[in-house]
Chain A
Amino acid sequence: MTNNAVKHSEPLLRVSKRAEVVWWKGWIIRGISIVLALIACAFIIVLLTGQNPIEVYGALIKGSFGSSRKVWIMLQNLAMLLCVSLAVTPAFKMRFWNIGAEGQVLMGCLATSVCMIYLGDKLPIGLLIPIMLIASVLAGVIWAVIPAIFNANWKTNETLFTLMMNYVATQLVAFCIVFWENPLGSNTVGVINSSTQGGWLPVIFGQKYLLNILVVAALTVGLYIYLKYSKQGYEISVVGESVNTAKYVGINVKKVIIRTMAISGAICGVAGLLLVSGTDHTISTTTVGGMGFTAIMVSWLAKFNPALMTLTSFLIVFLDRGASEIATAFRLNESVADILTGVILFFIIGSEFFVNYKLNLRKKHNQGNLSASAKEGK
């Protein structure tokens, strides 16, 4: 190996993986990316709308913190998104690509609605809530376990399977709405038991969203502990890293796949209960509103860590609430606000690359780097 030959083969810019990332360095890179994102957005705002970017950022913040009501709405949206994100996480950690959370939550919504419509005025709330909980969890579990059984036994593609189950769930809800719609033909169920409030989750401390928020907070802590400290959580990690290793150490992979998807489905079911009984008190095919897919991003951005997911779902909800506030305050089309959201997310997701990798400029006489690059080149 001659020095000359190696010199010529080295590109101007070379990407290498960072061996060890000090945690504060990662956060400096993420911080820089947010600052850069805001600067890029400022240019877009001025060019597209002619508004003052500082005022637009003010509205962005006001969307989540402008009044105590806005704070509660933000916390509620955060809780619901976080709940669905928690649900997809165990499966993702196992490298099982469950993109069917939308349908699993919707099945939970459907089960809850059935209980509210047919039992809402007949049973005391103390009995009804456990029944609704069992029904919605069961519905979520069934919807999640079907693709898991097929995958575990016959190696079906879980991505396609879970995706298709979403459509089946949507059609099931559409079918049920035909029986429940009021007035006939309107395709709208309306608020269920609006006069008696039968089957509505109770309002605690005068805040209608507080119960939802507390339930999700408890789930977050629970899942964190489960994934990090329980034996089952460890099995999930092992199966995710390598199925063969898992088999070698005697883990029953089939069982782990099905059990983990059941947990995913159960949490989805709870999300459905909170959405219908605790929030909307009605159901439509769009009740979940795409959260099943947004949750995937939340979970990935947080590297499947439930504690960090609180932050990433806050980020998504904060941007979303801010976007609609900007649209209202400046009479902009919401698409402009969505562009800003997209740019900010692009920078934040992009920053993960720079946290994990570094760029090396070609140096003139750097022996150490050269031999390293030569090794990598082979």
Chain B
Amino acid sequence: MKKVLSLVLALVMVLGVFAGCGNETNVDTSSKADTTSFDEVKVGFIFLHDENSTYDKNFMDAADAATKALGLKEENVKYKTNIPETSACYDAAAELADDGCDVIFADSFGHEDHIIQAAKEFPDVQFCHATGTKEHTEKLANFHNAFASIYEGRYLAGVAAGMKLNQMITDGKITAAEAKMGYVGAYPYAEVKSGYTSFYLGAKSVCPSVTMDVKFTNSWFDIAKEKEAANALISGGCVLISQHADSEGAPKACEEAKVPNVAYNLDTSGWGPNTAIISSKINWQPYFEHMIKAVAEGTKITSDFCGGLKDDVVQMTKLNTNVAAPRHTGKA
């Protein structure tokens, strides 16, 4: 299910560079926002689940924020939730197009083929798809992929993890050789591999002796399996855990075992007040605003959009200083 970029790490990084260039022009358009009227623009969003999934909630919050910031009429923003990666996705997209939507966005990797089918049938409607890979092979004028250089955030999260390890070494809790991290991954997929590679490199940049074990759950969302994987890593000697999976499983396991955790997609300090350090996340608001502005102004939607830290597309959540610097709360 869901998200995912299909290229190897190197290619992801190359894309990131291209998108970096593309984004500057896209940020420029924001200055014209007040001169454009969004009264007539209709947007449709297709979500795999609803707000109970952290993955979809991240998209829904951004969609709320973007449509509100641009002042779209409420009746012109249509959400379709719990749309599976089947022909039901094509049906949902076609229904939104029938309703007069100018641009339709889908948030899950497996939606892509069904959205492409709809894009072929409705050439006057723009279709945008998160985490997909087929824009450059399909070559449709109205189908666009978008993602984020989340590895940038993962690297920073890794630096935070490495600093925590250094602190544990200094405090004599572990030796330098025992600085082993655990990573709970969803699938052995490019996006996940890129994520943990950057995370590891970030940690290594400050803590040279660090090592890392990875366990896959083979599911994007499975509370029990993620918890189980985190616990297995902890009993295997990992002293810090991070994850690329969408549930509270790993953060909660860490809180129970009193092992520091670095998370993804949302601030998890609620689940782990004594163990959550920081999270990296994707902020979709800039892309949603770009896509809506483009259809309002009749300009082109950036192809293979891939924003990073400098575009505010990749963000870090608030550092939980209680965990990051227990003896010097507030000190950087």
| Chain A positions near chain B (C-beta within 8 angstroms) | 67, 69-70, 73, 174, 183-188, 190-191, 194, 279-282, 284, 286-287, 289, 324, 327-328, 331, 333-335
A56 CA to B74 CA, complexed, in Å: 17
Which B residue sits closest to A329, measured CB to CB? B78
Closest CB in chain A relative to B36 CB, distance in Å = 24
Q: Which residues 185-222 of B have a CB within 8 angstroms of A?
A: 187-190, 192-193, 218, 220
| Interface pair B98/A186, CB less than 8 Å apart | no
Contact mask for chain B residues 97-137; partner A; CB cutoff 8 A; 1 contact, 0 none = 01000000000011011100100000000000000010000
Q: A331 contacts which chain B residues (CB < 8 A)?
A: 74, 79
A191 CA to B95 CA, complexed, in Å: 20
**Other-chain contact of A280, B4, B50, B87, B112 (Cβ < 8 Å):** B87
A86 CA to B75 CA, complexed, in Å: 41
Contact mask for chain B residues 44-88; partner A; CB cutoff 8 A; 1 contact, 0 none = 000000110000000000000000000000100011111011110
A324 CA to B84 CA, complexed, in Å: 13
Q: B161 contacts which chain A residues (CB < 8 A)?
A: none
A69 CA to B114 CA, complexed, in Å: 16
| Interface pair B190/A185, CB less than 8 Å apart | yes
Which B residue sits closest to A208, measured CB to CB? B87
| Interface pair A289/B84, CB less than 8 Å apart | yes
Judge whether B94 is part of the interface by a CB distance below 8 angstroms. Answer: yes
| Interface pair A188/B1, CB less than 8 Å apart | yes
| Interface pair B81/A327, CB less than 8 Å apart | yes
Given A280-B86, A284-B1, A333-B51, A184:B95 Cβ within 8 A:
no
| Interface pair A328/B79, CB less than 8 Å apart | yes
Judge whether B6 is part of the interface by a CB distance below 8 angstroms. Answer: yes
| Residue from B113, B117, B190 with most neighbouring chain A CB atoms (10 Å) | B113
| Interface pair B190/A324, CB less than 8 Å apart | no
| Interface pair B109/A282, CB less than 8 Å apart | no
| Interface pair B50/A333, CB less than 8 Å apart | yes
| Interface pair A284/B85, CB less than 8 Å apart | yes
Given A69-B98, A279-B87, A280-B87, A185:B192 Cβ within 8 A:
yes
Judge whether B256 is part of the interface by a CB distance below 8 angstroms. Answer: no
Judge whether B24 is part of the interface by a CB distance below 8 angstroms. Answer: no
Judge whether B297 is part of the interface by a CB distance below 8 angstroms. Answer: no
Question: Which secondary structure dominates chain A's binding surface?
Answer: loop
A324 CA to B46 CA, complexed, in Å: 12
Q: B188 contacts which chain A residues (CB < 8 A)?
A: 185
Closest CB in chain B relative to A325 CB, distance in Å = 9
| Interface pair B74/A188, CB less than 8 Å apart | no
| Residue from B4, B79, B85, B193 with most neighbouring chain A CB atoms (10 Å) | B85
Q: Which residues 1-29 of B have a CB within 8 angstroms of A?
A: 1, 4, 6
A130 CA to B192 CA, complexed, in Å: 41
Closest CB in chain B relative to A343 CB, distance in Å = 19
Judge whether B91 is part of the interface by a CB distance below 8 angstroms. Answer: yes
Which A residue sits closest to B91, measured CB to CB? A73
**Other-chain contact of B84, A286, A327, A335 (Cβ < 8 Å):** A286
| Interface pair B218/A69, CB less than 8 Å apart | no
A221 CA to B173 CA, complexed, in Å: 74
| Interface pair A287/B86, CB less than 8 Å apart | yes
Which B residue sits closest to A190, measured CB to CB? B113
Q: B80 contacts which chain A residues (CB < 8 A)?
A: 324, 328
Which B residue sits closest to A174, measured CB to CB? B218
**Other-chain contact of B1, A69, A183, A187 (Cβ < 8 Å):** A187
User: Could you show 18 A-B contacts with beta carbons less than 8 Å apart?
Assistant: A183-B189, A183-B190, A185-B189, A186-B189, A188-B109, A190-B113, A191-B117, A194-B113, A281-B87, A284-B110, A286-B1, A286-B84, A289-B84, A328-B78, A328-B80, A328-B81, A334-B81, A334-B82
**Other-chain contact of A282, B85, B94, B95, B133 (Cβ < 8 Å):** B85
Closest CB in chain B relative to A291 CB, distance in Å = 12
| Interface pair A188/B110, CB less than 8 Å apart | yes
A70 CA to B133 CA, complexed, in Å: 30
Closest CB in chain A relative to B147 CB, distance in Å = 13
Closest CB in chain B relative to A112 CB, distance in Å = 14
A183 CA to B134 CA, complexed, in Å: 11
A73 CA to B91 CA, complexed, in Å: 7
A174 CA to B217 CA, complexed, in Å: 13
Q: B94 contacts which chain A residues (CB < 8 A)?
A: 69
A294 CA to B95 CA, complexed, in Å: 25
| Interface pair B86/A187, CB less than 8 Å apart | no
| Interface pair B110/A183, CB less than 8 Å apart | no
List 15 additional contacts besides A69-B94, A69-B95, A183-B6; criterion CB under 8 Å: A174-B218, A183-B190, A185-B187, A185-B192, A185-B193, A186-B189, A191-B117, A281-B87, A282-B85, A282-B86, A286-B84, A324-B82, A334-B50, A334-B81, A334-B82
Which A residue sits closest to B78, measured CB to CB? A328
A279 CA to B114 CA, complexed, in Å: 11
A190 CA to B116 CA, complexed, in Å: 11
A73 CA to B87 CA, complexed, in Å: 10
Q: B4 contacts which chain A residues (CB < 8 A)?
A: 186, 188
Which A residue sits closest to B133, measured CB to CB? A183
Q: A174 contacts which chain B residues (CB < 8 A)?
A: 218
Closest CB in chain B relative to A75 CB, distance in Å = 12
Q: Which residues 142-181 of B have a CB within 8 angstroms of A?
A: none
| Interface pair A187/B6, CB less than 8 Å apart | no
